[in-house]
Amino acid sequence: MSLPKATPQWILAHSPSGDIVLDGPNSTFQLKKDVPLPPLQDNQVLLQSVYFSNDPAQRTLIWKDYPSDRHYTNLMKEGELMRAYRVICKVLDSRSDLFKVGQLVIASPGWSLYAVVDAGACHPINELPGLDNTHFLGSLGGAGTTAWYGLIDIARATKDDVVCVSGAAGATGSMVVQIAKHVLGCKRVIGIAGGEKKCRWVESLGADVCIDYKASDFQEQLLKVTEGYVNVFFDNVGGKILDLMLTRVARYGRIAACGTISNYSSAGGSDVEAAGLNNWFQVVVNRLEIKGFITFDLGERTGEYVDRLIQAVKEGKIKLSDDNNTVVDTKWEDFPRTWNLLFTGGSQGKLITKVVD
Ligand SMILES: NC(=O)c1ccc[n+]([C@@H]2O[C@H](COP(=O)([O-])OP(=O)(O)OC[C@H]3O[C@@H](n4cnc5c(N)ncnc54)[C@H](OP(=O)(O)O)[C@@H]3O)[C@@H](O)[C@H]2O)c1
C-alpha cells in the first residue's frame, strides 16, 4: 500500500449554542477531505487512526463562550481540527527507534484519519492476553483511572460506606460500580442510569440496585433505595440528579464531583438554560464535602493507577468483556454522529468509534 500524502479531517465549524448540529449550514463540524500531510521528519511517525475514545469533555472544549483560564486547557476556536483525547493508531511509517511499522500505539492526533506526530507523544500498548486492546481507551484508560482516583482518593470511600453513582452505565460510572463493590467491598452500591436495560447491566456488574432516572417514579424510587442515606455520591451528571442527591447524602458525607454531562449542552455560552441547584442548604446543614477533581492531575502517577486496575482484573475483582464497550463501526463521513451518541444515551460503558471504509 502506498503511504497517504493527505488525510480527511473533521474541524470545528460552528461552536454550538445548545445541542450539537449534525447537518445543514450551521453544522457544528465540517469535513475536510484532503488536508496535506507534512513529510515525515526524524523522531516522527505516520499514524492511521483505528479506534477513537469518545469523551464528554470534548463537548466542553467547543463551548462558544467560556474563559480558558477557568478550564484545564485552552478551548478550541472555529476552524481548528477537532481534538480527541485517546486514539488507538497503527504506525504506517516510522523514523523513530521507539515504534516499528505495524505497531499499535495510543496517540492524540485529533479527528484525523492519518497524522504525522512526534513519536515521543505516542504511548505503546501493553497488550494483555485475552483482553481486547480497546479497554485501554475506557476501563483501563481515562474512565478507569478517573473512577479509581475519584472514588478512593477524592471521596475516600471505604468498605463501611454506602456509595451511590450517577451515570452508572457509562464508561466511568460502570467502573465506579465494580471498584466500589469488588475492590473496596462497600456496604451497598446504588447506581442511577438511563433505562431499564442499562440498570440491569449495572446490577450485573455488582450494584445492589440501579434505578432509572428516566422513569416517571424516579424520585420515589430514589427515596426508597437511599433510605438511611448514602455516605458517598460519585457524580457524573450534575444538574437535577445532583440536586436531588444533595438531599440523600448522609451527614458528613462526601461527593466526588466528576462531571456534569447533563449540563454540557446548556453551559459555556449556550442559549439554553442550565438546571440550577435548589437544595444547597443541605450542603451547609449536613456538613457535606464536595470535591471536584480532574484526573489529568495524576500526571506521571497515571501508570500506577492503570497498574492497579490491571491487578484487579487479574485478581478477578474487575471483569471486562465486550459489554463494557459500545464499539460503533463508523464511516469517516459519519464521524460526529457516533460521537454524539454520548449525549443521547446511545452507549453502554465506553463509546468507541471504529473507523471503517
Ligand atoms: N473529572 C475528570 O477528570 C473526568 C474524567 C473523565 C470523565 N469525566 C466526566 O465523567 C462523566 C462520565 O464520563 P464518561 O467518559 O464515563 O462518559 P459516559 O458516562 O460513558 O457518558 C455517556 C453517558 O452519559 C449519560 N448522559 C448523557 N446525557 C445525560 C443527561 N442529560 N443526564 C444524565 N446522564 C446523561 C448517558 O447515560 P444514560 O443513558 O444512563 O443517560 C450516556 O450513555 C462526564 O461528565 C465526564 O465529563 C470527568
pLDDT above 80 (res 1): no
Q: How far apart are CA 122 and CA 225, in angstroms?
A: 45
Q: How many CB atoms lie within 10 A of CB 354?
A: 15
Q: How far apart are CA 23 and CA 218, in angstroms?
A: 34
CB of residue 167 inside a 6 A radius of ligand 1: yes
Phi then psi dihedrals of residue 350, to 5 deg: -85, 125
* Percent of the chain whose pLDDT exceeds 90: 94
Crossing angle (nearest 10°) for helices 196-205 and 171-178: 40
Query: Which residue has the CA at smallest separation from atom 41 of ligand 1?
Result: 194
CB of residue 345 inside a 6 A radius of ligand 1: yes
pLDDT above 90 (res 117): yes
pLDDT at 103: 96
pLDDT at 274: 79
Q: How far apart are CA 259 and CA 242, in angstroms?
A: 10
Q: Is 6 helix (H, G, I), strand (E, B) or coil?
A: strand
pLDDT at 40: 98
**For the segment 295-340, what is each residue's pLDDT rounded down to a tens digit?**
999 999 999 999 999 999 999 999 999 999 999 999 999 999 999 9
pLDDT at 340: 97
Q: How far apart are CA 251 and CA 285, in angstroms?
A: 8
pLDDT at 272: 77
pLDDT at 310: 97
CB of residue 60 inside a 6 A radius of ligand 1: no
pLDDT above 80 (res 31): yes
For residues 44-56, average pLDDT = 98
Residue 123 near residue 148, CB atoms below 8 Å: no
pLDDT at 267: 81
pLDDT at 320: 97
**For the segment 170-220, what is each residue's pLDDT rounded down to a tens digit?**
999 999 999 999 999 999 999 999 999 999 999 999 999 999 999 999 999
pLDDT at 271: 77
26: exposed, middle or buried (Cβ count in 10 Å: 0-12, 13-18, 19+)? exposed
CB of residue 172 inside a 6 A radius of ligand 1: yes
Sequence-distant (6+) residues with CB within 8 A of 241 are 166, 192, 213, 235, 262
* pLDDT tier at 268, thresholds 50, 70, 90: confident
Q: For residue 169, report the distance from its CA to the centre of ligand 1, in Å.
A: 9
pLDDT at 357: 87
Q: Which three cell numbers stand for residue 113?
A: 484519519
pTM above 0.85, yes or no: yes
* pLDDT tier at 95, thresholds 50, 70, 90: very high
CB of residue 58 inside a 6 A radius of ligand 1: no
* pLDDT tier at 269, thresholds 50, 70, 90: confident
Question: At 160, which amino acid appears?
Answer: D
Nearest one of 190, 199, 135, 202 to 157, comparing CA atoms: 190
3-state helix, strand, coil in the chain (%, to 5): 30, 25, 40
Q: How far apart are CA 180 and CA 158, in angstroms?
A: 8
The CA-atom distances, in angstroms, between 7 and each of 39, 71, 85 are 13, 30, 19
Q: Which of 61-65, 102-106, 120-124, 315-319 has the lowest mean pLDDT?
A: 61-65
Q: How far apart are CA 169 and CA 244, in angstroms?
A: 19
* pLDDT tier at 270, thresholds 50, 70, 90: confident
Mutate to test the pocket of ligand 1, among 237, 272, 327 (most ligand atoms within 8 A of CB): 237
